[in-house]
Amino acid sequence: MAFNGFADENKSLRTKVLVLERELKRRTDECTKLRGELREFGELKQKNESQRELILALRDQIEFLRTAHASAVETLEKKANEDRDREHRERLQSINARLGIEVCQTNRLPKKFAPEVSASGGLVPTSDGAQVVLKSSDISSLGFAPVQRPVDFLGGRQNPLQQSENAGSGGAEEDEAARLMEMVKDEALLDVQYAEVADQEEKELRERFEALRRR
């Protein structure tokens, strides 16, 4: 009986030892697995740290690029405004120069002066043709009345040819003035259209800049 009891107890102990060995093996496998995962997590942590440093460096670079882009946009806008102002000044100077040339040419036209009459009289050209002018006195070959001088030498009554010439000259000056005014108007319209195009380009640049900033 005692022997059978020892045998059963021995068998029970062996069973417990086997169970403990299996449990120990299972725990050992789990520890090995956890150790491997811990090693992998350590490597990922190092990678994350390096990636974090890279992200911070890229963020600083992005801020620098944003500042540089804003400065470049401001510089381009300033340059565009300067170019537009310079072109506008050049156009105005060109128009003013052309107006000055027209004024100089007008001022250089020969003026009509009244002819001087000698003391003894003589043949004097007038707008109505050549007329004889005698010395003004109470006694003349025409009688005791003073001689009537021609009215306003070259400036009185004008013949149809001279009137048409003056009308033609006035019409030419009016046409030239109208042409210059039309040029000034066209230049002003071009400036307005150029300003509208520049404003549209500036708006598009700002929209692109805001889109880049939101990224």
Residue 117 lies in a domain: no
Residue 205 lies in a domain: yes
Average pLDDT over the chain reads: 71
Residue 25 lies in a domain: no
pLDDT tens-digit series, residues 44-75: 988 888 888 889 999 999 999 999 999 999 99
Q: What is the pTM of this model?
A: 0.34
Residue 42 lies in a domain: no
Show the domain range for 199. 177-214
Q: Among candidates 73, 77, 90, 78, which has minimal Cα distance to 191? A: 90
Residue 67 lies in a domain: no
Residue 188 lies in a domain: yes
31 pLDDT higher than 90: yes
**Looking at the 3D structure of the chain, how many domains does it have?**
1
pLDDT tens-digit series, residues 182-213: 777 777 777 776 677 767 777 777 777 677 76
Residue 192 lies in a domain: yes
Residue 210 lies in a domain: yes
